[in-house]
Structure 1
Amino acid sequence: MTRIDGPRLPATGGPATALVVFLHGYGADGNDLIDIGAAWQPHLPGVAFVSPHAPEPCAMSPMGRQWFPLTLRDDTERWRGVVHARPALDAFLDAERDRLGVTDDRIVLVGFSQGTMMALHVGLRRPALAAIVGYSGLLAGPEHLDEATARPKVTLIHGDQDQVLPVQFTFAAASALGAAGIPAEFHVSKGIGHGIDQRGLVLGLETVAGALGIALPRR
């Protein structure tokens, strides 16, 4: 099993009482999302942030990383991929939890694209996490949701102009999660492609803060 690591931001205001883990998309690396942590950090005292690099070099982007090979041919490929990548991510989450001395219910997973696939797969099968935020992604293997052991808060955010993973994937994920008794909210970002806009970042921050019991200033 490949060990993974990536950039970190320490908690402000004292020892960490919670952890946000960013899971990047196909062909990127941990540096791609850690800046979101820097933007959220002033609003989330006591929260540490980490953005691990996926375990494999990306076949289509030699400078990037992948959680698993991805051609988007079918869901069988994606299901096999998340299952294969899960042990490395689980081991990383265990190590970060123990290093910081936090509990699982103080951990939030935030994924983008392929990272959302990993966040949903792993996050629903661990001891109950605080929340999962998924941007521009999909749920791999919805027929396997009977394996889910946790019911964290799930928020899915997707651009309606996404040509890589169309927004219908989020509609399908929310429907499958709801049918399995896992309530999921979803938000559609108008005019946004395969990316995250400012409104999406605010919604993600609100989800994280709410799940961790942190009050945000009223806007």
Structure 2
Amino acid sequence: MLDGPRLAPLSGSKPNALVILIHGYGSNGDDLISLAAMIQPALPDAAFVAPNAPSQIPRMAAAHQWWPIETFSMAERAAGAASAAPELDAFVTQELDATGLSSDRLLLVGFSQGTMMALHVGLRRPDPIAGIVGISGMLVAPDRLEADIRSRPPVLLIHGTEDDVVPFRSMDLAATALTAAGVRVETHASPGVAHSVGQDGLVAATEFARRSLLP
């Protein structure tokens, strides 16, 4: 079963919301929990968890992956996301059950390969979650979305204009496909930012999280 670093609510109270952060290829939960620490002051009653992906990259002890990247093909991404989805989906259910929270109190935040997982899993859960923040990622298998989608939580896509790993145009391609499927989408371009989270992107993500989760 997946697990990773956690942050309890800053307020010290029982959590009234849950934020699950999903890291990218070659990273780990410790990397994204630092992002959670920057969002946390805006959501003092929320719990945060950043699970480590299920497999490690060979000969790289702290580097995890949701699926191996070998060809960078659309088919590889589609197969990889589909194979990793059940374990992440089960983790989401487990965390909601453990906190006693309903799906509408859950926000998924993904980075790169983690964005692909957040969108893949979040849109296929039957009960709508509060929202999805996708940073520097893309929508996997957009041609299957109309047939597979089961709920339509609001989505914020954030992408650096100078991303040399996942092309900047991936944001608009994802937004177009999501909008066509009836999903409410917001986009935020980070000028001059490469494959990372800029300060302006962090501000946008925090504001979206506040709107999605504050009562």
Whether TM exceeds 0.5 here: the answer is yes
Q: Distance in 1 between matches of 2:59 and 2:25?
A: 9
CA deviation after TM superposition for structure 1 residue 177, in Å: 0.5
Could you tell me how far 1:59 is from its partner in structure 2? 4.1
Q: 1:48 to 1:173 in 2, by over 3 A?
A: same
Partners of 1:181 and 1:90 lie apart in 2 by: 22
- Write the deviation string for residues 114-158 of structure 1: whole angstroms up to 9, x where unpaired: 000000000001120000000000000001112111111100000
- 1:130 counterpart = 2:141: no
Write the letter of the residue equivalent to 1:210: R
Cα deviations across residues 153-202 of structure 1 (Å, max 9, x unaligned)?
Answer: 10000001000001111110001111111121111100000000111001
Q: Please, what TM-score do these two structures have when normalized by structure 2?
A: 0.95
Q: Give the deviation of 1:73 after TM superposition.
A: 2.6
Q: Do the aligned partners of residues 172 and 59 (structure 1) sit closer, same or farther apart at CA in structure 2, a change above 3 Å counting?
A: farther
Q: How much does 1:71 deviate?
A: 3.2
Q: 1:16 is matched with which residue?
A: 15
- SS of match in other structure, 1:169: helix
Q: Deviations over 1:10-66 (max 9, x none)?
A: 113210011000000000000011011111212112100000000011248443000
User: Are the aligned partners of 1:22 and 1:109 in contact in 2 as well (CA < 8 Å)?
Assistant: yes
Query: TM-score, normalised on structure 1?
Result: 0.94
* Amino acid across the alignment from 2:55: E
Judged with a 3 Å threshold, the aligned counterparts in structure 2 of structure 1 residues 176 and 26 are, in CA distance, closer, same or farther, namely same
* Kept in 2: contact 1:112–1:135 (CA 8 A): yes
Aligned to 1:171: 172
Whole-angstrom CA distance in 1 between matches of 2:104 and 2:65: 27
Structure 1 match to 2:104: 105
Report the CA distance between 1:72 and its aligned residue: 5.1
Partner of 2:91: 92
Q: Which residue of the partner structure matches residue 202 of structure 2?
A: 201
Counterpart code for 1:190 = P
The total of aligned residue pairs comes to 212
CA–CA separation in structure 1 for the residues paired with 2:81 and 2:32: 20
Distance in structure 1 (CA, Å) of the matches to 2:154 and 2:71: 27
Which SS does the other structure have where 2:194 is aligned? coil
Give ranges in structure 1 of 5+ residues lacking alignment: 215-219
Q: CA RMSD of the aligned region, Å?
A: 1.2
Shift of 1:91: 1.1
